[in-house]
């Protein structure tokens, strides 16, 4: 069986690796860029799973699947590639600024306990004793999720690519998939081949994991999936020493702002959520990035002493008029699968997406 994956961000790379574990599948991945560009390269890698407010349905099941899979996937990839993947196992600390939040969190704590997951609710005294770097009079406590994680999305994606190559997957970068090739048979619901800048490619399955590039590509299939860009900006600051307890460095989040320790007294701060004003073009709003830094300093005043090392931005793929992500067959085709439009949860949901695509392909093959 021959499978073509279009796109090599974290989603395409995760699918390639997952399918490489199945015997009898020959996999080729195409991307017009090197791996881990676009939204993957701009992501902060904060895996908001257990501490999210999603409690049922696919939205929760996919999170749970991914959080569980990462615990085995990271050591698996490190063993194959002999490379360390920055993976923070010290949890996520979600700051609370209003009394009514605690009732909501207590309800979630009970639900998570019934699901076999941990959440801790800290009052302000406990928060100050464990994380003294948090110093804001409006913060009344926090929710600590010890089983949530943070990782480096670029390092993860490169490791997925290397491990997939180790298992025989072929990657072709600098190649653009243009459109489906003209039909050579009478099966209207099957795509036989695609045209690329490197020539015609045939396969049994085609997986579109191209993020924002999925829209123009699916338009060529006459089944356009409308995915719009949402810009996110972030910055890396250097304090020169760690905040609070050197032995306890969780990712801290509050008011949709993340403070992510990345080692050596450096922190990632982000991210903005910026929608296009007209059409699909979005110019980064400098003031919004300033406000992210100011919010992080408001939570942890010591960050005011940190120097800005770099800033960056990326475009997230957000489906228009429907929930993210899109993991399904392309309408009208039995062998073209969509794994795209993950919006702000591409890194979080990559393992679950890969599982879902693997199941769709292997179950269809068994039925046939």
Q: Cα angle vertex 192, ends 187, 193, to 5°?
A: 150
* Range list of β-strands (E), the chain: 2-6, 26-31, 46-47, 87-88, 92-96, 120-123, 141-145, 149-151, 170-173, 177-180, 193-196, 199-202, 205-208, 227-238, 251-254, 257-263, 266-270, 307-319, 326-329, 336-340
Interacting residues of 270 by C-beta distance below 8 A, sequence separation 6+:
44, 232, 233, 234, 235, 257, 258, 260, 292
SS3 147: coil
Q: Hey, how many other C-beta atoms are within 10 angstroms of the C-beta on 280?
A: 11
Q: Could you tell me if 131 and 54 are in contact, meaning their C-beta atoms sit under 8 angstroms apart?
A: no
Partners of 135 in the beta sheet?
A: none
Q: Note the pLDDT of residue 323.
A: 96
Q: Could you tell me if 253 and 95 are in contact, meaning their C-beta atoms sit under 8 angstroms apart?
A: yes
Name the CATH superfamily housing domain 1-87+150-226+320-368: FAD/NAD(P)-binding domain (3.50.50.60)
Angle between helices 153-166 and 346-367 (to 10 degrees): 30
Partners of 313 in the beta sheet?
A: 233
Q: Note the pLDDT of residue 53.
A: 94
Interacting residues of 28 by C-beta distance below 8 A, sequence separation 6+:
2, 3, 4, 5, 169, 170, 171, 172, 201, 203
Q: Is the pTM of this model over 0.85?
A: yes
Q: Note the pLDDT of residue 186.
A: 77
Q: Note the pLDDT of residue 364.
A: 79
d(CA 238, CA 262): 10
d(CA 3, CA 60): 29
Q: Note the pLDDT of residue 193.
A: 97
d(CA 318, CA 301): 33
Residue with tokens 């093959």: 365
Q: What are the domain boundaries of the chain?
A: 1-87+150-226+320-368
pLDDT 10s per residue in the chain (368 long)? 999 999 999 999 999 999 999 999 999 999 999 999 889 999 999 999 999 999 999 999 999 999 999 999 999 999 999 999 999 999 999 999 887 678 899 999 999 999 999 999 999 999 999 999 999 999 999 999 999 999 999 999 999 999 999 999 999 999 999 999 998 777 889 999 999 999 999 999 999 999 999 999 999 999 999 999 999 999 999 999 999 999 999 999 999 999 999 999 999 999 999 998 876 679 899 999 999 999 999 999 999 999 999 999 999 999 999 999 999 999 999 999 999 999 999 999 999 999 999 999 999 765 65
d(CA 151, CA 350): 13
SS3 133: coil
Q: Tell me the C-alpha to C-alpha distance, in Å, between residue 174 and each of 34, 104, 198, 249.
A: 7, 48, 9, 39
């Amino acid at each position: 069986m021959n499978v073509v994956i279009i796109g090599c961000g974290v989603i395409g790379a995760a699918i390639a690796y997952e399918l490489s574990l199945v015997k009898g599948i020959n996999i080729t991945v195409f991307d017009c860029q090197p791996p881990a560009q676009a939204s993957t390269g701009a992501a902060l890698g904060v895996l908001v799973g257990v501490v999210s407010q999603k409690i049922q349905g696919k939205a929760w099941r996919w999170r749970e699947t991914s959080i569980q899979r990462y615990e085995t996937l990271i050591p698996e990839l490190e063993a194959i590639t002999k490379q360390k993947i920055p993976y923070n196992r010290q949890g996520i600390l979600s700051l609370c600024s209003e009394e009514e939040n605690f009732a909501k969190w207590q309800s979630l704590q009970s639900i998570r306990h019934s699901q076999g997951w941990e959440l801790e609710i800290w009052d302000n005294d406990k928060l100050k004793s464990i994380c003294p770097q948090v110093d804001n009079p409006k913060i009344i406590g926090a929710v600590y999720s010890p089983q949530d994680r943070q990782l480096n999305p670029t390092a993860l994606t490169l490791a997925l690519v290397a491990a997939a190559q180790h298992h025989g997957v072929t990657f072709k970068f600098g190649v653009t998939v243009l459109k489906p090739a003209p039909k050579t048979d009478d099966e209207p619901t099957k795509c036989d081949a695609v045209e690329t800048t490197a020539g015609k490619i045939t396969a049994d399955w085609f997986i579109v994991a191209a993020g924002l590039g999925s829209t123009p590509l699916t338009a060529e299939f006459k089944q356009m999936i409308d995915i719009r860009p949402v810009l996110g900006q972030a910055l890396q600051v250097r304090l020169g020493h760690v905040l609070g307890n050197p032995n306890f460095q969780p990712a801290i989040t509050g008011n949709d702002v993340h403070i992510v320790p990345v080692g050596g007294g450096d922190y990632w701060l982000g991210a903005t959520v910026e929608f296009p004003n007209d059409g699909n073009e979005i110019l980064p709003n400098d003031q919004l990035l300033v406000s992210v830094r100011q919010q992080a300093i408001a939570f942890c005043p010591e960050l005011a002493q940190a120097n800005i090392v770099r800033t960056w931005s990326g475009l997230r793929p957000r489906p228009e008029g429907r929930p993210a992500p899109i993991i399904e067959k392309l309408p009208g085709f039995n062998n073209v699968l969509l794994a795209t439009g993950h919006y702000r949860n591409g890194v979080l949901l990559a393992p679950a997406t890969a599982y879902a695509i693997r199941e769709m392909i292997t179950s269809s093959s068994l039925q046939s």
